């Protein structure tokens, strides 16, 4: 696995590697970004900073994973941020009403995941069941879910019980919770990658007609994809709740397009049928590290937005170009 093989003139072996590990270009960009961050701000590689990075971006990683599953089937979910907001405020309000005992916290989390799954089911029924365009239908449901979130909690506020965010920010037997959560997530993703549903989603995304003709229940598969997406969006919401310790009915709105960008950065095709969740996780980290790097290199404040946008664009182009060269 040498670096050269991902660049122009890639050999047969490199092509095979890229097909097996579509996230390779993203991984190289990630490593480059980590090194650059370390050069411009050595402290950004400290244990504390890396722990901070993971606890801030764990939510976006999970959200990108959620998005990946629907993108596999050539669908998209623009309501993912609204689902996150709705789960966030629901958990906070439940805990506010029923108190913050550890058992209650656990119950509220389960309820939150249930709400996420329900939202996903609504999306699936609307998109796959009613056959509406995914991009427009989920945009509409995003407004619906945001409305619900504002009904549940009209103004940002209401603190989470200490048990909740102390757990998220704390350590157990010397291992920070967020690292443990990241490892558990990795194992779950590994197991899921072998699940039949994932293969079916990819088959539908590759060629829905062919999948249908070969006897796959395409509609049911797409609906299940949206439910899975809702569940992971809810898990992302639990991370946001842990990191912010409060409810905010508008918190997820701006994260939607970041999740899509992370998916594409990670080498997953928006046209469906090809990709990897590992890539999406890396994509989320790339987005986070780019915005830190823009600051650490000393970009003047007036230019930070522009430079950040350009950097993401370049990362996308590098990924696409490397991928294309190796596939051709």
Q: Closer to another protein at the Cβ: 132 or 307?
A: 307
Q: Closer to another protein at the Cβ: 248 or 326?
A: 248
- Closest CB 305 distance from another protein, rounded Å: 5
- Closest CB 49 distance from another protein, rounded Å: 5
- Closest CB 178 distance from another protein, rounded Å: 12
Do residues 227 and 121 touch, judged by C-beta distance below 8 A?
yes
Residues 6 or more apart whose CB falls under 8 angstroms from that of 153 comprise: 89, 92, 93, 247, 248, 249
Residue-by-residue DSSP string for 187-229: HHHHHHHTSHHHHHHHHHHH-HHHHHHTT--HHHHHHHHHHHH
Q: Closer to another protein at the Cβ: 251 or 278?
A: 251
Nearest CA-CA partner of 237 in 18, 63, 79, 57: 63
Take residue 129 and report the two structure tokens written for it: 């069941």
- Closest CB 159 distance from another protein, rounded Å: 6
Interface ranges with another protein (CB under 8 A):
41, 43-44, 46, 48-49, 52-53, 56-57, 59-60, 150, 154-159, 165, 169, 240, 243-255, 258, 288, 291-292, 294-296, 300-302, 304-305, 308
Q: Closer to another protein at the Cβ: 190 or 303?
A: 303
Token pair 């439910």 is at which residue? 227
Q: Closer to another protein at the Cβ: 112 or 249?
A: 249
- E-strand stretches of the chain: 157-159, 171-172, 175-176, 246-247
- Closest CB 250 distance from another protein, rounded Å: 8
């Amino acid at each position: 696995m040498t670096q050269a093989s991902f660049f122009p003139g890639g050999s047969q072996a490199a092509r095979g590697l890229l097909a097996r590990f579509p996230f390779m270009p993203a991984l190289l960009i990630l490593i480059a970004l980590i090194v650059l961050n370390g050069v411009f701000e050595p402290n950004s590689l400290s244990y504390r900073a890396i722990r901070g990075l993971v606890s801030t971006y764990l939510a976006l990683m999970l959200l990108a994973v959620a998005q990946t599953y629907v993108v596999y089937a050539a669908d998209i979910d623009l309501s993912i941020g609204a689902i996150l907001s709705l789960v966030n405020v629901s958990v906070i309000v439940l805990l506010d009403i029923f108190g913050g005992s550890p058992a209650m916290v656990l119950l509220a989390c389960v309820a939150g995941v249930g709400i996420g799954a329900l939202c996903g089911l609504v999306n699936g029924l609307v998109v796959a069941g009613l056959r509406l365009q995914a991009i427009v239908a989920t945009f509409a449901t995003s407004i619906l879910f945001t409305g619900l979130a504002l009904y549940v909690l009209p103004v940002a506020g209401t603190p989470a019980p200490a048990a909740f965010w102390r757990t998220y920010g704390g350590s157990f037997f010397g291992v920070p919770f967020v690292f443990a959560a990241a490892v558990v997530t990795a194992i779950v993703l590994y197991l899921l990658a072998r699940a039949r549903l994932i293969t079916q989603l990819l088959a539908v995304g590759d060629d829905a007609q062919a999948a249908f003709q070969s006897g796959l229940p395409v509609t049911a598969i797409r609906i299940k994809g949206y439910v899975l997406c809702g569940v992971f969006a809810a898990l992302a919401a639990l991370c946001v709740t842990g990191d912010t310790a409060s409810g905010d009915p508008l918190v997820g709105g701006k994260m939607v397009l970041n999740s899509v960008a992370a998916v594409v950065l990670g080498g997953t095709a928006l046209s469906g049928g090809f990709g990897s969740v590992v890539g999406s996780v890396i994509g989320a980290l790339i987005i986070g590290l780019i915005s830190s790097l823009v600051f650490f290199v000393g970009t003047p404040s007036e230019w930070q937005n522009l430079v950040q946008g350009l950097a993401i664009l370049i990362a996308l182009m590098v990924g696409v170009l490397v991928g294309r060269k190796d596939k051709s």
